[in-house]
A and B are shown apart, each in its own frame.
Chain A
Amino acid sequence: MSTWSSPAAIAVEDQLFRALAVLRIVVLANAVVLAVYRADDVGRPAAMAACVVTMIGWTGFATWAYAEPHRRGRALLAADLAIAVAMLLASPYVMADGATASVPGFWIIGALIAWAIHYRWVGGLVAGLVLAAADLARQDLDWSDYGNAFLLVVGGPVIGFVCGSLQQLATERDAAERAAAVAAERARLARAVHDGVLQVLALVQRRGGELGGAAADLGRLAGEQERQLRALIRAQDDLGDGARTGAVDVVAELVRLESRRSVTVSTPGTPVEVPAATARELVAVVGACLDNVRTHVGEDAPAWVLLQAFPDRVELSVRDDGPGIPAGRLEEAAVEGRLGVAESIRGRVADLGGTAEVVSGPFGTEWEIVVPRPVGSTP
């Protein structure tokens, strides 16, 4: 029963009992006013007065007693219900013959709801049945009494069920918040560890390059690992939200491309969410552009990828410092009926509803890709 004893569940119970304390005063006032108003129906005024004093006294005591979680034991709840039942059972003795009203009237729902809050739907059902039976045990009844008894039996469990659900939700929310805090702390620790590893890799890379020879090879390897790890960390940071919304953070996807040597990926600092299929295509297109750089400029030729996000579109640029595409080569390929890389890139981007332009010259080659985003995406 840890769900019911969790701090969150107890906080919910506290709040419900505070609300019940207010309700008890309202139904008490109602009972007292009716007792005075129906003075003619009372057979034994002294007994009626004793009952009213008992109800006032118990309401005060119950308000105090239910305020603290440790006082809400079986004894208190049993006494609460017993007094409500006693008030009902005393009615035939107190009231005049032929009077259909009971002594406590609606005052008894204080006990019913207390049971529903503390023992949830089972408590609501038990208290409802007991009170309904006590009410129907009186002799002079009219049809509205059957209606009230029915309401007690139905209402008790319903209130109890709602109270139970509230406590469960609060407990679950608490657990989720704790899990999030733990995950954040773990991520913080991991960052410190990763940073230490990256420091050493960067140092090896730097010193290795300076020493030359076999050390330079070590340095190059360290540099590769550093890039891989950095890309991995960034990709990992962005896990989580995508699965829920069906959208993917295209930043995390693109950053993976940095693990290729000599590729620099620049992006905004916040996630850029696009539909998963769009993200996949964009990464594939950028990959094709980078493959092209490798083929035509060189295995280790530097290339730069820039992602910009706008509310209605994303813009991608892939640039290299190579000699550029010789004039007429793309047209030549098209005439020969070959579907060049450029055409394939344009086609894939067009399928996403976007455009891809290529500029080439002695300064290098630059692809500009613009793809619309579904309206409502966050920039």
Chain B
Amino acid sequence: MTEAEARLRVMVVDDHPMWRDAVERDLAAAGLDMVAVAATGREAVARYPAARPDVVVLDLQIPEPDGVAVTAAVVAEDPSARVLILSASGEPGDVLAAVKAGATGYLVKSASREELLDAVRRTAAGDPVFTPGLAGLVLGEFQRISGAPAPAPDPGEPSLTDRETEVLRLVAKGLSYRQIAERLVLSHRTVQNHVQNTLRKLHMHNRVELTRYAIERGLDE
């Protein structure tokens, strides 16, 4: 454990007390600094600005506002915020919505303590934490975007490069970044960059969609 890791500031948002305690205990035992906890979306949004954690470990199913809304609020407050979704049910719609809103990682709650620690550290480092399931959802989302019959094709619309699609496909097939790097003869860092770009483009697309929606509804004044 290095000096930098020891100082990682983490906030845990979960309405289930047993879970909140378990996650808190595991992370604290590994030397991470637990700066805040919250049981509801309202508490999370209220406590985030003062706590300024490096990583928010967030459950999706929490009392109003839900995890997706909290993600959006936290990222709006601080665009460099890192949100790791930790969900029990992993509803595909909710997970995709949270990632589109700005979360950079997703883990199911059945993941082990080591997997959780690893995910928190990677999220803090700005490294997207993708499960194969999330990669499948994101692939499907880009397929939906490119397949949607647009009234006028928008050249500014973010789309994936062939290489990015390839990397994402391999993530969805359950390969680790190391395995992907080996198979495509790339460096581990390049694979990470491709996955990061994928997320960046997804966020960009989400903003384009939201703006378009706002303009359509006359909310842009």
Contact A233 B89 (CB under 8 A): yes
A295-316: which residues lie under 8 A (CB-CB) from chain B? 302, 304, 306-311
Complex CA distance for A266 and B61, rounded to whole angstroms: 21
Contact A266 B89 (CB under 8 A): no
Complex CA distance for A198 and B92, rounded to whole angstroms: 15
- Indicate if B126 sits at the interface (CB-CB under 8 A): no
CB<8 Å pairs between A and B, sample of 20: A195-B88, A199-B19, A199-B109, A200-B18, A201-B110, A202-B109, A203-B22, A203-B109, A226-B110, A264-B131, A266-B172, A268-B140, A268-B141, A268-B144, A302-B174, A306-B169, A307-B136, A308-B140, A317-B173, A379-B143
Contact A379 B147 (CB under 8 A): yes
**Residues of A in contact with B, size category:** 35 or more
| In-complex Cβ contact of B89 among A230, A307, A308 (8 A) | A230
- Indicate if B163 sits at the interface (CB-CB under 8 A): no
Contact A264 B132 (CB under 8 A): yes
1/0 contact trace for B139-180 toward A, CB 8 Å? Answer: 111011001000000000000000000000100111100010
Q: Which A residues touch B2, using CB under 8 A?
A: none
For the residues of B in contact with A, the DSSP-based class is helix
Stretch in A17-25, A73-81, A205-213 touching the partner: A205-213
Given contacts A191-B89, A264-B132, 20 further A-B contacts (CB under 8 A): A191-B61, A196-B16, A198-B89, A198-B109, A199-B88, A199-B109, A203-B22, A206-B22, A264-B131, A264-B174, A265-B133, A266-B173, A267-B136, A268-B141, A269-B92, A269-B95, A269-B137, A269-B140, A270-B144, A317-B173
Q: Which A residues touch B22, using CB under 8 A?
A: 203, 206-207
A187-224: which residues lie under 8 A (CB-CB) from chain B? 191-192, 194-196, 198-203, 205-207, 209-210, 223
* Chain A, residue nearest B96 (CB): A269
| In-complex Cβ contact of A269 among B132, B141, B147, B169 (8 A) | B141
**Min CB distance, A226 to chain B, in Å?**
6
| In-complex Cβ contact of A306 among B110, B112, B141, B173 (8 A) | B173
- Indicate if A366 sits at the interface (CB-CB under 8 A): yes
Tell me the number of A-to-B contacts counted with CB atoms below 8 Å: 111
Asked whether A192 and B61 contact (CB < 8 A) given A266-B135, A306-B169, the answer is yes
- Indicate if A363 sits at the interface (CB-CB under 8 A): yes
Contact B89 A366 (CB under 8 A): no
**Min CB distance, B57 to chain A, in Å?**
14
Chain B contact residues, CB within 8 Å of chain A: 16, 18-19, 22, 61, 88-93, 95-96, 108-110, 112-113, 131-133, 135-137, 139-141, 143-144, 147, 169, 172-175, 179, 183
* Chain B, residue nearest A202 (CB): B109
Q: Which B residues touch A194, using CB under 8 A?
A: 89
Contact A210 B140 (CB under 8 A): no
Most B CB contacts (10 A, CB to CB) among A199, A226, A308, A317 go to A199
Contact B147 A310 (CB under 8 A): yes
Q: Which A residues touch B137, using CB under 8 A?
A: 266-269
A228-247: which residues lie under 8 A (CB-CB) from chain B? 230, 233-234
Complex CA distance for A310 and B19, rounded to whole angstroms: 39
Q: Which A residues touch B113, using CB under 8 A?
A: 206, 210
- Indicate if A319 sits at the interface (CB-CB under 8 A): yes
Complex CA distance for A319 and B183, rounded to whole angstroms: 14
Asked whether A230 and B143 contact (CB < 8 A) given A269-B96, A306-B169, the answer is no
